[in-house]
Amino acid sequence: MGPIGVLALQGAFREHRASLERLGVPVREVRLPEDLRGLSGLILPGGESTVMGRLLRDFGLSEPLRRLAAEGLPIWGTCAGMILLAKRIIGEDTVHLGLMDIAVRRNAYGGQLDSFRTELNVPGVSPAPLPLVFIRAPYAEEAGPRVRVLATLKGKIIAAEEGNLLATAFHPELTDDLSFHRYFLDKIK
Ligand code: GLN
């Protein structure tokens, strides 16, 4: 198995790296197109999607990433990473990678729920309730027919997959729980 890449332009990439290392898998931080060579999977971390989207273009990563996604590279976007994956951002003309057939709303939990922690059963990912951390998180309001919804919170999609793509609105890398990282690695195998 080749290393798992973690996009390291901005945001919470160190935490993903630490989670993967706890699971004993080789990790590579991705900043340049050549860093994509030979990866078995790639994580797009949380951070600021507008900044990360611009850096993806500036560093010449958008096109190679789209190509690898089309070839079946497993890619997991958390929070801002979910926004990077989405084909549509509600209320905005911007699209970043535009790979996954979901329409996301940015900063969807306004006001007091801006950032929060909760627990949820996510069957198929873990038999026990999972701790979920949301930080100025998005959710998906719509999903195309090929998208499989893994978890919803108050009727909104917070985890979903479409073929080789996985998206979560929350941050498993900011908890001790490795279930979602394990789930992603199982997708790769
Ligand atoms: N609010 C950020 C955005 O719109 C996402 C926040 C996060 O990744 N924790 O990009």
What's the topology of domain 4-188? Rossmann fold (3.40.50)
Task: Return the structure tokens found at 56.
Answer: 């993806």
pLDDT of 1: 85
Predicted local distance difference test score (pLDDT) of residue 158:
98
What integer pLDDT is reported at residue 111 of this predicted model? Answer: 80
Indicate if ligand 1 lies below 6 Å from the C-beta of 62: no
**Rounded alpha-carbon distances, angstroms, from residue 26 to 19, 116, 158, 182:** 11, 31, 28, 14
Decide: 82 in ligand 1 pocket, CB within 6 A: no
pLDDT at 189: 86
What is the β-pairing status of strands 156-162 and 165-168? antiparallel
CA–CA dist 180, 189 (Å, integer): 14
Please give the span between the terminal C-alpha atoms of the chain, in angstroms, as a whole number: 9
- Indicate the top mutation candidate among 135, 158, 168, 171 to test ligand 1's pocket, ranked by most ligand atoms within 8 A of CB: 135
Instruction: Kindly list the averaged pLDDT for each block of 10 residues, start to end, along the chain of length 189.
Output: 96 98 98 98 98 98 98 98 98 97 96 91 95 97 98 97 98 97 96
At residue 156, the pLDDT reads 97
47 CB near ligand 1 (under 6 Å)? yes
Residue 117 pLDDT: 96
pTM listed for this prediction: 0.97
The label of the residue with tokens 């992603």 reads: 184
Rounded CA gap, 100 and 156, in Å?
Answer: 16
**pLDDT score recorded for residue 170:** 98
Tokens 């993806």 — which residue? 56
What is the maximum span of the chain, computed from C-alpha positions, in angstroms?
43
What's the 47 CA to ligand 1 centre distance in angstroms? Answer: 5
- Nearest residue to 131 (alpha-carbon basis) of 181, 167, 178: 178
* Ligand 1 near 105 CB (within 6 A): no
